[in-house]
Chain A
Amino acid sequence: MNTYYAVNLLVYAGVDIIACLALNLQFGVSGIVNFSFIVFQAVGAYAAAVLSMPPDTANGGFQHYIGGYELPFPIPWLGGAIAGGLLAIPVGFVVLRKLRSDYQAIALLVLSVIANAVITNADKFLGGAAGIALVPPPLSDRIDPNTESYQYLYVGITAVCVVIALVVANRIVNSPYGRSLRAMRERELAATAIGKNPVQLKMTIFIVGGLIAGLSGGILVGFIQVWAPSVWLYPETIILFAAIIVGGRGNNIGAILGALLVPVGFEEITRFLNNSPSIANLGPPGLIPALQWVAIGLLIIGFLWFRPEGVRPESRRVFEGAPVREDR
Chain B
Amino acid sequence: MLAATELAPAAERPMLVASDIHRHFEGLHAVDGTSIDVPAGKITGLIGPNGAGKSTLLAVLAGTLPATSGTIVFDGEDVTSSPAYKRARHGLVRTFQLPSEFARLTVLENLLVAAPKNRGDTLLGALRGRSYWIEDERRLVQQARALLKRFGMSAKESEYAGTMSGGQKRLIEIMRALMLGPRLLLLDEPMSGVHPKIVLEIQHYLEDLRAEGLTILMVEHELHMVERLCDTVVVMAQGKVIGSGTMSSLRRQREIVDAYLVG
**A195 pairs with B116, CB closer than 8 A:** yes
Task: Judge if B235 is at the interface, Cβ distance under 8 Å.
Answer: no
**B100 pairs with A190, CB closer than 8 A:** yes
Interface centre among B89, B106, B113 (most CB of A within 10 A): B113
CB distance from B114 to the nearest CB of A (A): 4
Task: Judge if B260 is at the interface, Cβ distance under 8 Å.
Answer: no
Which residue of A174, A195, A319 contacts B141 across the interface (Cβ within 8 Å)?
Answer: A319
**B104 pairs with A186, CB closer than 8 A:** yes
A154 CA to B176 CA, complexed, in Å? 49
Number of interface residues of B (CB under 8 A): 51
**A193 pairs with B93, CB closer than 8 A:** yes
CB distance from B118 to the nearest CB of A (A): 5
**A192 pairs with B85, CB closer than 8 A:** yes
A325 CA to B160 CA, complexed, in Å? 12
Which residue of B113, B118, B180 contacts A183 across the interface (Cβ within 8 Å)?
Answer: B113
Q: A195-B89, A318-B158, A323-B157 are in contact. Are A190 and B126 (CB under 8 A)?
A: no
Chain A residues within an 8 Å CB radius of B136 = 176
Q: A177-B120, A180-B113 are in contact. Are A194 and B106 (CB under 8 A)?
A: no
Task: Judge if B127 is at the interface, Cβ distance under 8 Å.
Answer: yes
A162 CA to B196 CA, complexed, in Å? 54
Task: Judge if B240 is at the interface, Cβ distance under 8 Å.
Answer: no
Q: A176-B133, A186-B103, A192-B88 are in contact. Are A316 and B123 (CB under 8 A)?
A: no
**A177 pairs with B102, CB closer than 8 A:** no
Chain A residues within an 8 Å CB radius of B199 = none
Task: Judge if B22 is at the interface, Cβ distance under 8 Å.
Answer: no
**B106 pairs with A316, CB closer than 8 A:** yes
CB distance from A195 to the nearest CB of B (A): 4
Which residues 11-64 in A have Cβ within 8 Å of B in the complex?
none
Task: Judge if B231 is at the interface, Cβ distance under 8 Å.
Answer: no
**A197 pairs with B155, CB closer than 8 A:** no
**A189 pairs with B121, CB closer than 8 A:** no
Per-residue contact bits, chain B 20-37, to A (CB 8 Å; 1 contact, 0 not): 000000000000000000
Per-residue contact bits, chain A 162-188, to B (CB 8 Å; 1 contact, 0 not): 000000100110111111101100110
A192 CA to B176 CA, complexed, in Å? 13
**B113 pairs with A194, CB closer than 8 A:** yes
Task: Judge if A322 is at the interface, Cβ distance under 8 Å.
Answer: yes
Q: A186-B104, A197-B85 are in contact. Are A322 and B93 (CB under 8 A)?
A: no
Chain A residues within an 8 Å CB radius of B176 = 194
Chain B residues within an 8 Å CB radius of A317 = 105-106, 108-109, 158
**A172 pairs with B126, CB closer than 8 A:** yes
Chain A residues within an 8 Å CB radius of B126 = 171-172, 175-178
Task: Judge if B137 is at the interface, Cβ distance under 8 Å.
Answer: yes
Chain A residues within an 8 Å CB radius of B118 = 176
Task: Judge if A204 is at the interface, Cβ distance under 8 Å.
Answer: yes
Task: Judge if B96 is at the interface, Cβ distance under 8 Å.
Answer: yes
Chain B residues within an 8 Å CB radius of A196 = 85
Chain B residues within an 8 Å CB radius of A256 = none
Task: Judge if A326 is at the interface, Cβ distance under 8 Å.
Answer: yes
A179 CA to B109 CA, complexed, in Å? 8
A154 CA to B154 CA, complexed, in Å? 52
Chain B residues within an 8 Å CB radius of A323 = 154-155, 157-158
Chain B residues within an 8 Å CB radius of A194 = 88, 93, 113-114, 176-177, 179-180
**B96 pairs with A179, CB closer than 8 A:** no
Chain A residues within an 8 Å CB radius of B179 = 194
Per-residue contact bits, chain B 138-163, to A (CB 8 Å; 1 contact, 0 not): 00010000000000001101111000
**B105 pairs with A179, CB closer than 8 A:** yes
A171 CA to B122 CA, complexed, in Å? 11
**A180 pairs with B64, CB closer than 8 A:** no
**A316 pairs with B160, CB closer than 8 A:** yes
Chain A residues within an 8 Å CB radius of B85 = 192-193, 195-198
**B104 pairs with A314, CB closer than 8 A:** yes
Q: A176-B137, A192-B84, A192-B85 are in contact. Are A316 and B158 (CB under 8 A)?
A: yes
Task: Judge if A208 is at the interface, Cβ distance under 8 Å.
Answer: yes
| Nearest B residue (CB) for A207 | B123
| Nearest B residue (CB) for A177 | B126
Which residue of B84, B105, B141 contacts A182 across the interface (Cβ within 8 Å)?
Answer: B105
Which residue of B95, B102, B155, B157 contacts A186 across the interface (Cβ within 8 Å)?
Answer: B102
A323 CA to B93 CA, complexed, in Å? 29
Chain B residues within an 8 Å CB radius of A182 = 102, 104-105, 113
| Nearest B residue (CB) for A327 | B159
Which residue of A186, A193, A316 contacts B96 across the interface (Cβ within 8 Å)?
Answer: A193
Which residues 35-89 in B have Cβ within 8 Å of A in the complex?
62, 64, 83-86, 88-89
Top 7 A-B residue pairs of the complex, sorted by shortest distance between their CB atoms: A175-B126, A177-B126, A176-B120, A195-B88, A186-B102, A194-B114, A190-B100
- B interface with A by C-beta (< 8 Å): 62, 64, 83-86, 88-89, 93-96, 100-106, 108-110, 112-114, 116, 118, 120-123, 125-130, 133, 136-137, 141, 154-155, 157-160, 176-177, 179-180
- A interface with B by C-beta (< 8 Å): 168, 171-172, 174-180, 182-183, 186-187, 189-198, 204, 208, 250, 314, 316-319, 321-323, 325-326
Known: A172-B126, A175-B120, A182-B104. 13 other contacts (CB 8 A): A175-B126, A176-B118, A176-B136, A180-B121, A187-B102, A191-B102, A192-B85, A194-B114, A194-B176, A194-B177, A317-B109, A319-B108, A321-B141
